[in-house]
Amino acid sequence: MSEPTRVRVVVHGRVQGVFFRDTVRRAALERNVAGSVSNRRNGTVEAVFEAEPDAVDALVELCRRGPPGARVERVEVSEEPPQGAAGFDVS
Question: pLDDT tens digit string along 15-24?
Answer: 999 999 999 9
Is 78 among the domain residues?
yes
Q: Which residues are catalytic?
A: 21, 39
Mean pLDDT of 38-48: 98
Q: Where are the alpha helices (DSSP H) in the chain?
A: 20-30, 53-65
Is 76 among the domain residues?
yes
**pLDDT tier at 2, thresholds 50, 70, 90:** confident
Domain count, the chain: 1
Is 55 among the domain residues?
yes
| 7 alpha-carbon distance from chain centroid | 8
Range of the domain at 19: 5-84
Instruction: Give the angle subtended at the CA of 14 by the CAs of 78 and 58, to the nearest 5°.
Output: 45
Is 91 among the domain residues?
no
Is 74 among the domain residues?
yes
- Is a pLDDT exceeding 80 seen at residue 1? no
Question: What is the CATH classification number for the domain harbouring 50?
Answer: 3.30.70.100
Mean pLDDT of 71-82: 98
Q: Give the pLDDT confidence of 52-62 residue by residue, as tens digits.
A: 999 999 999 99
Is 90 among the domain residues?
no
Is 26 among the domain residues?
yes
Is 14 among the domain residues?
yes
- Is a pLDDT exceeding 90 seen at residue 33? yes
Q: How many CB atoms lie within 10 A of CB 74?
A: 10
**pLDDT tier at 38, thresholds 50, 70, 90:** very high
